[in-house]
Amino acid sequence: MRPISYSRATAVADAVATVVADPTSDFLAGGTTEVDLLRQNVLLPRRLVDINDLPLTQIEDRPDGGLYIGALARMSEVADAAGVQERFPMVAQALVLGASAQLRHMASMGGNMMQRVRCGYFRDATSPCNKRDPGSGCSALEGFNRGHAVLGVSEHCIATHPSDVAVPLMALDARVHTEGPHGRQVYPIDDFFLLPGETPHLEHPLEHGELVVGIEVPGLPMARTSMYMKVRDRESYEFALASVAAAVTVEDGAISDVRLALGGVATKPWRARRAEEMLHGAPADTESFRRAAREELAAARTTPLNAFKAELAQRTMVRVLETLTHPERQS
């Protein structure tokens, strides 16, 4: 491994100041992805500031029925929290379906928001990759791209955003809190993740040294019956080929409110706003679900290897909506 200097911070301000002062430095939380990428020479920091001692591990219930999750709460702790399981089952489900038990005990919620893509060309440290080496080209566009994104893609990058838990958080309009050189910032989660566009190396609107300190989830009563479904080749320990987080309210056979987000198919956690719009007021039946799903994926840009994901995403949306609205039909 490359020589790296390492220090542990005990106060947020110190951690931020240390990283701000050194452009070649980075924060280190659970390390479950970052250490791999260091070993692979994909990430090349000269200094790591370990933030695991910072007091950011809280999981608090908010008066509005929402949550505030500290950036260093571990995935497994959040998945086990009663408030999360009762009021936001899709968040707990997304966490449990992510990674492996060992990784969930290590990985932090803030780190999960900041995790890098799984694109093999990004991770091999040698192939051309606009994310790793801006302007070098995208090897995935005509490469092995079975797992790559079909939504939010650009001609510069088609890497899929890998997070599970960010998908229900997107559906819930969560807000990401940061501390940085210019103090505290709060980002609506949709703004926290950037589309690749012409600048795939920019994944978040953060300054160097700006640290995720927490995630705020507003209260949403309908989320009590929400669900997260993840479709993948292997039953566990694998990223999604398509996933759906949804919450829906039906009144008199019609959809009165719906939240819908997709994972595994887009370059960022994907709020299915077009589908939500179509579903508002529509009858809660398969035909409506199919139409809405089709509409959401109409913008999909596929390759021969990943074309099935556009279809798979639609079918997963339909399955989730049917399960939520007609649980008696499912097994």
Partner 1 sequence: MTATTLAIGQPTDRVDGRHKVTGGAHYSADVLLVGMTYAVMVGARVPSGRITHIDTDEAMQAGGVLAVLTHENLPGAAAQPPLIPSLAGMPAPGQTFFPLQDEVVHYTGQPVALVVADSLERAQHAAALIRVSYQEMPAVTTLDQGRDDAYEPEAIFAGFVPGRTERGDVEAGLAEADVLVDATYSFAANNHNPIEPSATTAAWDGDQLTLYDATQGVTATQLTVAALLGLTPSKVRVISHYVGGSFGCKAMIWAHPALAALAARHVGRPVKLSLTREQMFTSVGHREEQEQRVTLGADKKGRLLALRHHKLSPTSHFDDWAEPSLGVASQIYACPNYEGVYRLIRANTMTPTFMRAPGEASGMFALESTMDDLAHELGIDPIELRLRNYTDTDPTTGNPWSSTGLRVCYERGAERFGWHRRDPEPRSHRDGNWLIGYGMATAGYPVYGPNNPQRARARLYSDGTAVVQAATPDFGTGVATVMTQVAADALGLPFERCRFEGGDTTLPTIAAAVGSSGAGMISAAVHTAATNLRDQLIAQATADSQSPLHGADPGTVTVRDGRMMLRDAPETGESYGDLLHRNFLPDVEAAGSWSPSAESTRYGMTTFGAQFAEVAVDPDLGLARVRRMVGAFAPGRVLNPKTARSQLMGGMLWGLGQALLEANYMDPRRGRWVASSLGDYLVPVNADAPEVDIELIDVEDAFVNPLGVKGVGEVGQVGAAAAIANAIHHATGRRIRKLPITIEDLL
Category of 137 on φ-ψ map: left (φ > 0), alpha (ψ -120 to 50) or beta: left
How many separate helices (H) and strands (E) can be counted in the chain? 13, 12
Report the residue number, 120 or 283, with the smaller CB distance to partner 1: 120
Q: Choose one: 12-20, 72-80, 117-125, 204-212; the region binding partner 1 (CB under 8 A).
A: 117-125
Q: How far is the CB of 305 from partner 1 (least distance, A)?
A: 9
Q: Contacting partner 1 (CB under 8 A), which of 126, 155, 281, 327? A: 126
Residues in the chain: 331
**What is the rounded CA–CA span in Å between residue 102 and residue 316?**
28
Using DSSP, state whether 186 is helix, strand or coil.
Answer: strand
Q: How many residues bind partner 1 (CB under 8 A)?
A: 32
- Identify each DSSP E strand in 42-190 by its residue range: 47-50, 59-61, 67-70, 175-180, 183-188
Q: Which of 22, 133, 238, 295 binds partner 1 (CB under 8 A)?
A: 238
User: Looking at 116-124, 189-197, 216-224, 289-297, which segment touches partner 1 (CB under 8 A)?
Assistant: 116-124
Please give the Cα distance from 308 to 319 (Å, whole number).
16
Token pair listed for 289: 């679900």
258 is a contact residue toward partner 1 (CB under 8 A): no
* Number of C-beta neighbours around residue 149 at 10 A: 28
Binding span for partner 1 by CB under 8 A among 65-73, 178-186, 226-234, 264-272: 226-234
Query: Which 186-205 residues touch partner 1, going by CB under 8 A?
Result: none
Residues that bind partner 1 (CB under 8 A): 1-3, 39, 41, 118, 120, 124, 126-127, 139, 142-144, 146, 231, 233-238, 241, 308, 311-312, 315-316, 318-319, 330-331
